[in-house]
């Protein structure tokens, strides 16, 4: 059996789909399961090879911001996917208003996904009303349950391998597990970033208590991490641009806690069970906040835009 999942999104989006991938693999242990995703997702597919067999890179489509849209490339993509003759295509990219027409052209034997009510079109019997108020993890589990695939739990995972441990070792960090906190000031867009001055202040709070402070980030976030570092009164170590995804996960697993924007790193912390305080600048905590409310504290900045509240949550959540 050939199954293809369309979810051409970023790290946090894919991590929140892992429980659905797990359920899909348990339901079809011998199927070839393909992810249609962005170029970076090759690393994700390799890490989750127990659930996904291969990646097909999505070239982009009009109305989707993740990839530049070139009509000729998209038409070739549709032709190649149609030739695959998939048994099942799962649309896990959104509410379907943009991508459903595109994916229908792949002509899989069965097409399941979401539609945004009250839209009703002929031939959409296997598309289901988009549950707007449901957590991102549960949304896709509900989709699978609607086509007869039972859930295998909603816990996140982040498998670690020998190369991850080696990548962490070569960082040569002299850190005792639990004796440091991680700050992650980056996010996909500036509007979703908690202010630098607040990250610096909360870093100083923990440093003043005698704890080490580590600032994390991608290559694109090196300057942002440096801004936090320079705004602090105490010393902090920036590892922005220096970690692999796996070594970052080990760093987080060993940390006493994480203070982060609502971004992919928050979901890694949830997967490795590190206490965290997650600041949601766009008010979507119901959709994206980690499910374990005892271990992870999420703050909706649109409702409670005050540094003292975040500091108090951090003190309560992170016991070093």
Instruction: Tell me the pLDDT tens digit for each residue of 76-113.
Output: 999 999 999 999 999 999 999 999 999 999 999 999 99
Could you check whether the bond before residue 76 is cis, i.e. omega within 30 degrees of 0?
no
Q: How does pLDDT run across 285-317, given as a tens digit for each residue? A: 999 999 999 999 999 999 989 999 999 999 999
- How many other C-beta atoms can be found within 10 angstroms of the C-beta atom of residue 63? 10
Q: What is the mean pLDDT of residues 264-270?
A: 97
Q: How far is 156 from 20, CA to CA, in rounded Å?
A: 10
Tell me: pLDDT of 257 over 70. yes
Q: What are the pLDDT digits (tens) for 144-187?
A: 999 999 999 999 999 999 999 999 999 999 999 999 999 999 99
Is 320's pLDDT higher than 60? no
pLDDT for residue 125: 62
Q: Which residues pair with 6 in a beta bridge?
A: 36, 91
What is the structure's pLDDT at 241?
A: 97
d(CA 146, CA 115): 13
Quote the tokens at residue 33.
């399961």
Of the chain, the end-to-end C-alpha distance in Å amounts to 49
What is the token pair recorded at 95?
């509410």
Quick one: 155 exposed, middle or buried, by C-beta within 10 A (0-12, 13-18, 19+)? middle
3-state secondary structure of 3: strand
The CA angle 120-125-128, to the nearest 5 degrees, is 70
Angle at 24 between CA 21 and CA 30, to 5 degrees: 115
Work out the mean pLDDT of the chain and round it to a whole number.
95
pLDDT band at residue 319, thresholds of 50, 70 and 90?
Answer: confident
Q: What is the pLDDT of residue 121?
A: 54
Give the Cα separation of 217 and 267 in Å (integer).
14
Spacing of C-alpha 19 from chain mean position? 12
pLDDT of 119 > 70? The answer is no
Element (H, E) at 222: helix 222-231
Task: Return the residue matching tokens 């970033």.
Answer: 193
Task: Tell me the pLDDT band of 116, cut-offs 50, 70 and 90.
Answer: confident
Other CB atoms within 10 A of residue 171 CB: 15
What is the reported pLDDT for 126?
77
Q: Quick check: 214 pLDDT over 90?
A: yes
Predicted confidence at residue 124, as pLDDT, reads 58
Average pLDDT of the segment spanning 66-70: 91
The pTM of this model reads 0.95
What is the Cα–Cα distance from 189 to 281, expressed in whole angstroms?
Answer: 11
Reply yes or no on whether the pLDDT at 118 is more than 70. no
The predicted model gives 61-70 an average pLDDT of 93
- Tell the residue number behind the tokens 């109305």, with chain if given: 63
> Which are the contacts of 208, defined by CB distance < 8 A and separation ≥ 6?
234
């Amino acid at each position: 059996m050939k199954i293809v999942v369309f979810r051409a999104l970023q790290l946090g989006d894919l991590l929140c789909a892992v429980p659905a991938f797990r359920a899909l693999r348990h339901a079809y242990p011998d199927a070839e399961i393909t992810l249609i995703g962005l170029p970076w997702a090759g690393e994700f597919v390799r890490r989750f090879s127990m659930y996904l067999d291969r990646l097909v890179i999505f070239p982009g489509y009009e109305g989707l911001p993740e990839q530049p849209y070139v009509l000729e490339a998209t038409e070739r993509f549709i032709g190649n996917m149609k030739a695959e003759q998939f048994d099942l295509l799962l649309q896990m990219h959104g509410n379907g208003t943009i991508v459903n027409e595109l994916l229908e052209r792949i002509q899989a034997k069965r097409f399941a996904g979401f539609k945004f009510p009250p839209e009703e079109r002929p031939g959409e019997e296997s598309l289901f009303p988009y549950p707007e108020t449901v957590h991102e993890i549960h949304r896709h589990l509900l989709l699978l349950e609607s086509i007869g695939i039972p859930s295998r739990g909603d816990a996140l995972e982040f498998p670690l391998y020998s190369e991850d441990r080696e990548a962490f070792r070569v960082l040569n960090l002299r850190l005792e597990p639990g004796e440091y906190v991680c700050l992650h000031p980056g996010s996909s867009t500036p509007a979703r970033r908690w202010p630098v001055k607040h990250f610096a202040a909360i870093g100083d709070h923990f440093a003043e208590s005698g704890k080490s402070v580590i600032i994390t980030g991608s290559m694109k976030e090196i300057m942002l991490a440096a801004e936090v570092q320079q705004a602090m009164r105490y010393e902090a170590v920036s590892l922005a641009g220096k970690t692999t995804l796996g070594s970052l996960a080990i760093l987080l697993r060993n940390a006493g806690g994480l203070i982060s924007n609502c971004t992919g790193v928050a979901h890694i912390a949830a997967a490795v069970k590190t206490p965290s305080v997650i600041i949601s600048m766009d008010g979507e905590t119901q959709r994206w906040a980690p499910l374990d409310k005892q271990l992870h504290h999420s703050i909706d900045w649109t409702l409670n835009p005050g540094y003292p509240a975040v500091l108090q949550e951090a003190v309560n959540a992170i016991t070093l």
